């Protein structure tokens, strides 16, 4: 059974850090790009970061550049999202999803060409 499971969310104060994990099962992670998306209450889903299957291409949305880092460990079938200097506007449910090999145009498709979505993990940034 193909599955992606997110973990690592929680409540953190502004300026704090969290590391999200996306663990894959039922397929070989090496052949897939993995992206993180988020959705805040009342807002549309948006792409956050994406890493290609071979790590050669990494993308971050402008609002998280310099604060978030995406990485992968194919041996552990896991993709990570390290989030530093968190802001209240980062509050959302974070999801990971897969796409064959490359990220594609994640900003324009907004994840419609990604599949096998996880159940999400809540990130709340608040004092």
**Tokens describing residue 3:** 């599955």
How many angstroms separate the CA atoms of 13 and 101, rounded?
A: 36
Q: What angle do CA 112, 29, 79 make, to 5 degrees?
A: 80
Sign of CA dihedral 126, 82, 79, 89: positive
Q: pLDDT digit of tens for each residue in the chain (127 aa)?
A: 999 999 999 999 999 999 999 999 999 999 999 999 999 999 999 999 999 999 999 999 999 999 999 999 999 999 999 999 999 999 999 999 999 999 998 887 788 899 999 999 999 999 9
Q: Which residues contact 84 (CB under 8 A, 6 or more apart)?
A: 17, 67, 68, 69
């Amino acid at each position: 059974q193909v599955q992606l499971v997110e973990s690592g969310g929680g409540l953190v104060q502004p300026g704090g850090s969290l590391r999200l994990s996306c663990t894959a099962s039922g397929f070989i992670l090496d052949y897939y790009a993995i992206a993180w998306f988020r959705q805040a209450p009342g807002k549309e889903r948006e792409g956050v970061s994406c890493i290609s299957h071979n790590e050669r291409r990494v993308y971050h949305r402008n609002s998280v550049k310099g604060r978030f880092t995406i990485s992968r460990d194919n041996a552990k079938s896991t993709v990570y999202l390290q989030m530093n200097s968190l802001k209240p506007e980062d509050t959302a449910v974070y999801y990971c999803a897969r796409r064959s090999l490359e990220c594609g145009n994640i900003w324009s498709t907004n994840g419609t060409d990604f599949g096998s979505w996880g159940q999400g993990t809540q990130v709340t940034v608040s004092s």
